[in-house]
Amino acid sequence: MDYDYEDLADEYDVEDYGIEPSKSEYSHEGYSENISLRPPLYELFYHCLTPTVGEAAAHLGKVLFYCVVFRLVCDYGPKRLKNLTSIGCGIMVTYHFFGPLTWYLAANATISYLVLQVSTVVLNRGRGVLTAVTSVVFLFLCELFIVASQDWHTIRGAQMLISMKVISIGFDIDSNHLLSVPMPMDFFGYIFCVGTIIFGPWTRFSDYAMIGHNKLGIIHNILVTSWKSAVALFFLSISTCWSFWIAPNGSYKWSVAYRDALSFRSSHYFVSKMAEASSLTCNILQSKVKGAKKDDKKYENDSVSAEPIVITRPWSIELPRSLVEVVVHWNIPMHHWLRTYVFKNTRSLGTLPAILSTYAASAMLHGLNFQLAAVLFSLGIYTYTEHIFRTKLAFMINGCVGPRKCSDCTHALKESHFVVMIINFCFSLIVMFHLAYLGFTFNSAGSMEEEGYSMYHTLEKWRWLNFSSHWVVLFTFILASVM
C-alpha cells in the first residue's frame, strides 16, 4: 500500500477532543478530580454516577425531544414547515446550551451565506475558497478579539460545524454537486438542523434535503436511538467516574496518564454516540454508493442507498491494530470532509502540499491552540513512521504485519499465524502507549480546561513522562531508515 494522505489526515480529527462537552461539565462539583484514594462503590454511585448521568440525561433529553418534534413534522406535517421547524428547534437547543452566545453562531452562518450569494452573482466561481477564507477569518477574529476565551471554548465546536457545512456547500456548487446556492430557508434549516448543530456530525446538504424521503422504521429508530444513548451515557460515566475510581490520583504515573487519556477518549465517544442518536432521531441518513469506489469522481451510474451515520468505532481505537486504524475510526465524517474538500482540491499541487494543506485546514478550523497543533504534528510523524517501519517489516518477514489488514493477503505468514499475531499484539501495545502519552495533555481541572490548554501545560505534561513517546518514535524512525 502506498502511503497517502488518508494515513495522515484522518488523525487531525483528534482535535475534536478539545471542542466537545468534557467531564467537568457533568461532574458533581469536580468530585472525580479530588479522588486521591479509591472510594467505596456506594460513594462513587451517589456522588458521581448518579449526578453525572442524571444531569447529562436532562440536557440530552431536551435535544432528543426537539429531534422528535422535527422528525414528526418532516414525516407527517406539511413539507413547507420542514425548514422552519429545523431552524426553530435548532435555535431552541443552541440557546439551551449556549445562551446569548447563539448570536455568534447566527452571525457566522449569515455572513457566510452573504458571501455565497455575492460570489455567485459577481464571480460565479471560487465559492468554496471564499467561504473557507471568510469562515476562518471570522473564527480568528472571534477567538482573538471579540469573544471571551471561556465563552469561545464553549461554542467553538458548534462554530466549526457551521463552517464545515458552509464550506461544503461552496465546494459542492463549484463542482456541480449542487446546482445553485440554496434558498435562505433551506440554507438555515441545514445549518441549524437540531440533529447536528450541537454534537455534530457534519453532513452534506444533500443528506439534509433527503430528510422525509429516506425513512427507517419507527420501531427500529427508537430501539437504535435508545441503545446509542445508553452507550453514550456509559462512556460518559467512564470519562467522569470509573476511570478515576480505577486509577485514583497518586497511582503510578503511567496509570494516571492512561486514565486521563481514557477519560478524554471516552468523552469523545460520548459526544459521538449522542451525535449518532440525535441524527438518527431526525432521520438524517448518510448516502452510500453501491458499485463504485469511494474515490471515484462520478456516481451517476451507481445505485445509492441511505444508512444511519456512524461517527466513531471505539473498539478499533481502544484495541487498535495501528495508529493508522485509530485515525481512520476516530471521526469518520470529519475524515470524509477533509478528503473531499481539502485534500482532493489541493492534490494537484503534489502529495506533500496536499497533506500540509489538510493539516492547516483542520488546525485553522479548530482555532489557535498550541496543544492541538503539537498533538497533530506528533501524530503526523507517528503515523508516517509507523507506516514506513511496519511496511518494511512486512516485506522482510513476508508476513501480514502492516499498519492495515491485507484486503487480499499474499504474504506467506497470514494474519492467523502465531508469529504474526505476537508481532501485531506488540504493535497494539505500542499504540496504546502512544495514545496514553498524547491524550494525557488533554486533562486538567479548572479554568485551563474551560479556556484551552497552553504551551506550558502541554510540554510540562510530556516532560513529566520524560518525552518517552517521542523518543520511541525517533528510535523507530532510525530503525526504519536502516532496514
Tell me which residues are annotated as active site: 366
- Write the CB contacts of 115 (distance below 8 Å, at least 6 apart in sequence): 127, 130, 131, 134
**Phi, psi for 363 (deg, rounded to 5):** -65, -45
For 211-237, the three-class secondary structure string (H helix, E strand, C coil) is ECCECCCHHHHHHHHHHHHHHHHHHHH
Q: Which three cell numbers stand for residue 90?
A: 435548532
d(CA 322, CA 96): 40
H or E element at residue 374: helix 370-397
Q: 460, 253 in Cβ contact below 8 A?
A: no
CA distances to 52, 286, 360, 376, 442 from 450, in Å:
18, 33, 24, 20, 11
**Phi, psi for 210 (deg, rounded to 5):** -85, 0
d(CA 449, CA 369): 12
Nearest in space to 361 (alpha carbons), one of 199, 103, 171: 171
Q: Where are the beta strands (DSSP E) in 47-140?
A: none
CA distances to 7, 156, 203, 390 from 114, in Å:
36, 21, 21, 49
- Write the CB contacts of 332 (distance below 8 Å, at least 6 apart in sequence): 310, 311, 312, 313
Q: 120, 181 in Cβ contact below 8 A?
A: yes
- Packing angle, helices 323-330 and 370-397, rounded to 10: 130
d(CA 455, CA 448): 11
3-state SS of the chain: helix, strand, coil percent to 5? 70, 5, 25
Q: Which three cell numbers stand for residue 209?
A: 434535503
What distance lies between CA 224 and its chain's CA centroid? 21
